[in-house]
Amino acid sequence: MLLGVIGDDFTGSSDIANTLSKQGMSVTQYSGIPAHNADATVEAGVVSLKTRTIPVQDAVAQSVAAAQWLLKQGCQQIFFKYCSTFDSTKEGNIGPVTEALADLLGEDKVVMCPAFPTAGRTIFQGHLFVADQLLSDSGMRNHPLTPMTDADLRRWLAYQTQWTVGHIPYADIATGAEHIEQKLAAAPKSMIITDAISDQHLHDIGTAVRGRKLLTGGSGLAIGLPDNFRRQGLIKATNNPWRGESGKAVILSGSCSIATREQVAIYRENGKAREITAAEVAEGTVSVAEIADWALAQETTPLIFSSADPEVVVAAQNKYGRERAACAIETFFGDLASQLADAGVSRIVTAGGETSGAVVLALKIDAMEIGPEIAAGVPAMRVTGRDLVIALKSGNFGQKDFFNRALGVLENG
């Protein structure tokens, strides 16, 4: 294994696995830290964790353990992958996890670059944009768990770390890889936000960090990494044909992002749908068995969703508590996915990082093979050793008709 990735959620992990696969690496995505060694053919291993919103000390411990496993597989470089909208709170978890990984690897300069221009995430003068809006003006300001209220990544990261927070601005990034490498070499001990507004910038940053043991960011940064190994003759050509499944399918959506709510609305126009509310789950007025029976009885693919408007989410959090409300919905979706899979459902589409993580854990998935791309950052995946294919969509990703597209790719490629 050449490159080891630690993802702080499951959708983000599939996102970077997709990127690396498209760039020609042999990639396997693992659900949690494997209990066994990786297959010798794996060139990039992606360890999917669910650490984005858990207590800081737990996120640090799990991330370090993942890095230790990846190092045992021979990884030359570790990539800590977080969301392209830098999802975190003032307490963490991005800063503390980065500190711990840097200590483990002996690094004192770490690039921090969540930019993903293909999905509309760019960084200019240290500020993160979502399309033409500052992060703090986008729908992320209303995220139920990690509301992003400041677009200045330097300031937001500074809340989370004792390290100096540095910055390489656009003027330096645009000069190219050699200049970026020189700027990194001259920097003091620091976490360094790098501007990036195009894929070329990401390629150049990727080339500049070829000698670094640790880097962090969104999946966009990964587009420049495989060539570093390819130039050394370490990557073998791979061709993994896709095999879909044509059986029953289900869509499970827990994301409350603007993009997902629109995707839900579009699917509901012609498809079967059932809404699950936090109140129903918390008060026990709806059961997993009831919803599973309803889903299995549908002749077309059903959508089960809890993707509510921000004011509805806030009301539920105020009544039941933020953690209780979120945990109740996640557990419900996880148990539902498990029951449906046991009943023969062979295609599962999920929307939302927390929902996707809960589903993968409940299905007891060990590893996934990366298939064709459904949307930027979202691949089709086959569960290793099982007749089950899945798509894990981050809340903000995907076309307006994503759900129908995903069902088609999971079936036919």
Does residue 310 surpass a pLDDT of 90? Answer: no
* Helix or strand run (H / E) with residue 296: helix 288-297
What pLDDT, in 10s, does the model give residues 133-177? Answer: 999 999 999 988 899 999 999 999 999 999 999 999 999 999 999
Q: The tokens 């992606």 sit on which residue?
A: 46
Per the rule left: phi > 0, alpha: psi between -120 and 50, beta: everything else, 144 is alpha
Does residue 322 surpass a pLDDT of 90? Answer: no
Q: Give every strand in the sheet of 127-130, ordered side by side.
A: 121-124, 127-130, 133-134
- State the pairing for strand pair 133-134/367-375: unpaired
- State the pairing for strand pair 109-113/44-48: unpaired
pLDDT of 6 reads 98
What pLDDT, in 10s, does the model give residues 55-73? Answer: 999 999 999 999 999 999 9
Count of all residues that appear for the chain in the document: 413
Does residue 239 surpass a pLDDT of 70? Answer: no
Banded pLDDT at 97 (limits 50, 70, 90): very high
Select from 123, 190, 183, 127 the least CA-distant residue to 155.
Answer: 127
What pLDDT, in 10s, does the model give residues 383-407? Answer: 999 999 999 999 889 999 999 999 9
Q: Compute how many other C-beta atoms are within 10 angstroms of the C-beta atom of residue 58.
A: 12
DSSP at 89: B
Does residue 281 surpass a pLDDT of 90? Answer: no
> Mean pLDDT for the chain?
94
pLDDT of 152 reads 98
pLDDT of 312 reads 75
Give me the DSSP letters along 88-119: -BTTBSHHHHHHHHHHHHT-SEEEEE--BGGG
Average pLDDT of the segment spanning 293-317: 88
Average pLDDT of the segment spanning 370-379: 93
Three-class SS state of 141? helix
Does residue 325 surpass a pLDDT of 80? Answer: no
Does residue 319 surpass a pLDDT of 70? Answer: yes
* Helix or strand run (H / E) with residue 9: none
Three-class SS state of 29? strand
Does residue 314 surpass a pLDDT of 90? Answer: no
Average pLDDT of the segment spanning 74-81: 98
Instruction: Give CA–CA dist 229/231, Å, rounded.
Output: 5
Select from 304, 308, 236 the least CA-distant residue to 272.
Answer: 304
Whole-prediction pTM = 0.85
Q: The tokens 């569960």 sit on which residue?
A: 383
Instruction: Give CA–CA dist 271/198, Å, rounded.
Output: 37
Backbone angles phi, psi at 321, to 5 degrees: 95, 140
Does residue 251 surpass a pLDDT of 70? Answer: yes
Cβ-based burial of 176 (10 A; exposed 0-12, middle 13-18, buried ≥19) = middle
Does residue 199 surpass a pLDDT of 90? Answer: yes
Does residue 238 surpass a pLDDT of 80? Answer: no
Average pLDDT of the segment spanning 67-94: 97
* Domains contained in the chain, CATH given: 3-230 (3.40.50.10840), 249-412 (3.40.980.20)
